[in-house]
Amino acid sequence: MFAKAAPWRRSLTHLAALLLTGSALLATTTGARAAAPDEAQRAAFKQAWASAQQGGDGWRAWAAQLRDYPLYPYLPAAALEHDIRQTDLATVQAYLKQYPELIPAQDLRRDFLLELARRKDWSSFLALYQPGLGDALACDALQARMAGGAPLNFDTDLATLWSRPELPGACDPVLQAAHDQGLLTTTRLWTRIDRATDAGKSGTIATLAPWLPAPQDAEAQRLAQALRDPAAALAAASNWPNTARARQAATLALERQARRDTKAADASWQQLQARFPFSSTQRETVQRALALFHATDFDTMALDRLIALPAAAQTAATREWRARVALAEQDWPAVLAAIAAMPSTQQQDGEWRWFRARALAATGHPEQAQGIYQDLAGEATFYGFLAADQLKQSYAICPLAPVGNPQQEQLLLQQPGLLRAFELYAVDLPKLARREWSRALEGADAGTREQAAELANRRGWFDRAVFTFTYGDTLRYYALRFPLASQDGVVPQAQQAGIDPAWAYGILRAESAWVSDARSGADARGLMQLVPGSAAEVARRSGLTWAGGDSLYDPAVNIALGTRYLAQLALRYNGMPWLTSAAYNAGPNRVDQWVDARNALAPDLFIATMPFKETREYVTRVMAFSVIYDWRLHGSALPISGRLTPFGQPYALPNSLTPRKTVDCPAPPPPAPTSSVQLPASAASATDSGAPAPATSRRR
């Protein structure tokens, strides 16, 4: 009787049959030109893909239709990935031999190596392993070698891994073996602990500390505690020995606690100054943290603390917060002094030029203020639009369109990688499409990337242009960078929800940059970044169909729910788009706290004094995008100042009678003298950033 084969084996003969229908594809996938894919093939691929993801051979029912389709290699790979625990080395090697350069082959190699490590099949692992597949597999490869009796060598095997402040769990057996071999000397341990401390990785420190000799192990644990629980560390610090490492831990805990509870950190600082002879650098670190977070809390004496900081303790953050606290107090001479204390590059930011002009006008220097406003008004940014309103001028938006290159376009369409990217997008696999896009254009020159982005835009793949046109004159490709995508229904859905469509477009563009499958760490999904729980509630209240969280990746569903969520949130803020935008980003509870504290401020001052940098930039970005989208929709724009309704005044939804501003492209000014304020390169791109907003503070 024959022995029963292991359940994870699949014969090489079976593999040959599995891949036979794809053999004709080799010419296509290695560069030969094929006929353009048609909708029938795309429909067949979608069905085959759904089947392949269930494993087995069912997907082969569509193989005949897909013989020359550029995405065919994705199908056997998907089936193998599903059945990876039943797959053998020969099967995987055969696929890799047939499609060695493709992304699914790389994924299959990586995932099967992880499976082999799980099985502890180290001989097969070493037969398949290639360097450069990540730290986890690098450590698995070392385990495989150790299983064969090879000792570790720190310089050749561990030095690169040791430089990481954090390593995956797969490295734990390797590090234990290195310790057992005596490779982890005290000096090496402290080198990595210091890296982990700088990176804020308390877990790494706690893991390494037991390998240190006493009492150094306790000193390392103090560093871990300072990172993990600074309040507890400060409570214990009065009993710590007066050593260099204890002072380091105390400084770190004070800096961390200042962010969480400034008053408690103040009290601990007063106590510990008598306990430890902190170095001047440590004292400046603590003083800077205390001053900065007293400022973000807008505490009494916060401005005086910032002004009193030693020069060595000053940073860009402390200087800008000196100005923000002065703005909150509407102390215009202090605003001017704070901006004057900034380095010239920081002063040239559009925000500080605007507030310098505001401060000059408020202190009796209108002519100087006018000159700054005039410079700013030539820029298509939030502060540029504000300055144009101040001067009662048109908005300076100067559109350009890229110059087509039909020959280059045809060459691009013959690139197999780019063809696969376009096809993956066409069959609703945008994440895979972006990977193929990045691979196909790796190392390409700017002209090639721009031509590819224009091609993608024509196919409805709008985010490629958003992320490509981010510099120089490409920032003026407004039609590409701010697509209207009428098929997704932004205008009618916004109108039905009772909000300004241009504002809805601005929110969408700032949230996702038109990445329809965007997903944040807080599980916000799709174009307008909605959390499923919030979306379900909006659907219930609005009488819309709710088909679950994955439906938020459908642009039409996302926009229908997102516009209504915006409308519901706006009711909380008297309809004000700028304040609702802040709540959309930071969450309404935080915004309510800021409103309670500073609702006497004008909108531009309130925005400047919001404690979160992300939210400040988000609001100014959304408001500027709203102007640009308004112009794209109507050929003119509502004044941005009309969107910045002051507290206590109702916001009026624009209608056909609302006054609008013209848009023109002024002639470029003559070269400015070297003493004049110059626009930094970042100013034009900051407002028009194509990246989705970070998700750290989203609550939708």
Q: Mean pLDDT lowest for which of 29-43, 126-140, 208-222, 512-526? A: 29-43
Is residue 449 in a domain?
A: yes
Residue 8 pLDDT grade (very low, low, confident, very high; cuts 50, 70, 90): very low
What is the rounded average pLDDT of the residues 583-607?
A: 97
Is residue 222 in a domain?
A: no
The 10 Å Cβ neighbour count of residue 403 is 9
- Check residue 12 and give its pLDDT: 36
Give Cα 599 to chain centroid, integer Å. Answer: 31
List, as own/partner pairs, every contact residues 403-409 make where C-beta atoms lie below 8 angstroms and the sequence separation is at least 24, other chains included. Answer: 404/451, 404/454, 405/447, 405/451, 408/447, 408/448, 408/451, 409/451, 409/455
* Region class of 523: left (phi > 0), else alpha (psi between -120 and 50), else beta: left
Question: Quick one: CA torsion of 407, 408, 410, 416, rounded to 10 degrees?
Answer: 160
CB 628 within 8 A of CB 397: yes
Same structural domain, 651 and 606: yes
Same structural domain, 505 and 629: yes
Q: Return mean pLDDT, the chain.
A: 91
- Check residue 146 and give its pLDDT: 97
What is the rounded average pLDDT of the residues 152-177?
A: 97
Is residue 173 in a domain?
A: no
Same structural domain, 527 and 420: no
Q: In angstroms, rounded to a whole number, what is the distance separating the alpha carbons of residues 177 and 153?
A: 11
Q: In angstroms, rounded to a whole number, what is the distance separating the alpha carbons of residues 514 and 685?
A: 17
Q: The tokens of 558 are what?
A: 């996302």
Q: What is the CA radius of gyration of the chain?
A: 30
- Check residue 680 and give its pLDDT: 31
Q: What CATH number did the domain enclosing 658 receive?
A: 1.10.530.10
Is residue 167 in a domain?
A: no
What is the rounded average pLDDT of the residues 193-198?
A: 98
- Check residue 687 and give its pLDDT: 38
- Check residue 55 and give its pLDDT: 96
Name the residue among 269, 321, 399, 267 with its Cα closest to residue 663.
399
The 10 Å Cβ neighbour count of residue 404 is 11
What is the rounded average pLDDT of the residues 663-681?
A: 52
Is residue 59 in a domain?
A: yes
Name the residue among 59, 121, 116 with its Cα closest to residue 84.
116
Same structural domain, 557 and 683: yes
Dihedral sign (CA 359, 364, 366, 368)? negative
Same structural domain, 521 and 662: yes
Same structural domain, 543 and 431: no
- Check residue 670 and give its pLDDT: 53
CB 371 within 8 A of CB 448: no
What is the rounded average pLDDT of the residues 188-199?
A: 98
Name the residue among 59, 88, 90 with its Cα closest to residue 76.
59
Of residues 21 and 485, more confidently modeled: 485
- Check residue 671 and give its pLDDT: 52
The last residue of one of the domains, among 98, 130, 162, is: 130
Which residue's entry shows tokens 């429909």?
A: 43
Q: How many domains does the chain have?
A: 4
Same structural domain, 589 and 648: yes
Which residue's entry shows tokens 């067949």?
A: 44
Is residue 161 in a domain?
A: no
CB 220 within 8 A of CB 238: no
Q: Is 227 helix (H, G, I), strand (E, B) or coil?
A: helix
CB 504 within 8 A of CB 629: no
- Check residue 667 and give its pLDDT: 66
Dihedral sign (CA 38, 40, 43, 47)? negative
- For the full predicted model, state whether its pTM sits above 0.85: yes
Same structural domain, 534 and 605: yes
The last residue of one of the domains, among 97, 130, 163, is: 130
- Check residue 507 and give its pLDDT: 98
Domain span holding position 281: 231-313
CB 439 within 8 A of CB 397: no
Percent of the chain past pLDDT 70, that is, above it, reads: 90
Question: In this structure, what DSSP letter does residue 379 have?
Answer: S
- Check residue 669 and give its pLDDT: 54
- Listing DSSP states for 293-336 in one string gives HHHHTT-TTHHHHHHHS-GGG--HHHHHHHHHHHHHTT-HHHHH
What is the rounded average pLDDT of the residues 153-167?
A: 96
Same structural domain, 441 and 521: no
Q: Report whether pLDDT(683) > 80.
A: no
Is 255 part of the annotated catalytic residue set?
Answer: no
Name the residue among 450, 459, 515 with its Cα closest to residue 36.
459
| pLDDT digits 0-9 by tens, 559-580 | 999 999 999 999 999 999 999 9
What is the rounded average pLDDT of the residues 26-52?
A: 77
| pLDDT digits 0-9 by tens, 307-317 | 999 999 999 99
- Check residue 34 and give its pLDDT: 55
| pLDDT digits 0-9 by tens, 412-449 | 999 999 999 999 999 999 999 999 999 999 999 999 99
Q: In angstroms, rounded to a whole number, what is the distance separating the alpha carbons of residues 667 and 394?
A: 13
Q: Mean pLDDT lowest for which of 96-110, 217-231, 645-659? A: 645-659
Same structural domain, 431 and 568: no
Same structural domain, 458 and 540: no
Among candidate residues 115, 320, 511, 617, the one labeled active-site is 511
Is residue 433 in a domain?
A: yes
Same structural domain, 490 and 472: no
- Check residue 677 and give its pLDDT: 30
Is residue 361 in a domain?
A: no
Q: What CATH number did the domain enclosing 449 receive?
A: 1.10.1240
The last residue of one of the domains, among 107, 130, 153, is: 130
| pLDDT digits 0-9 by tens, 317-373 | 999 999 999 999 999 999 999 999 999 999 999 999 999 999 999 999 999 999 999
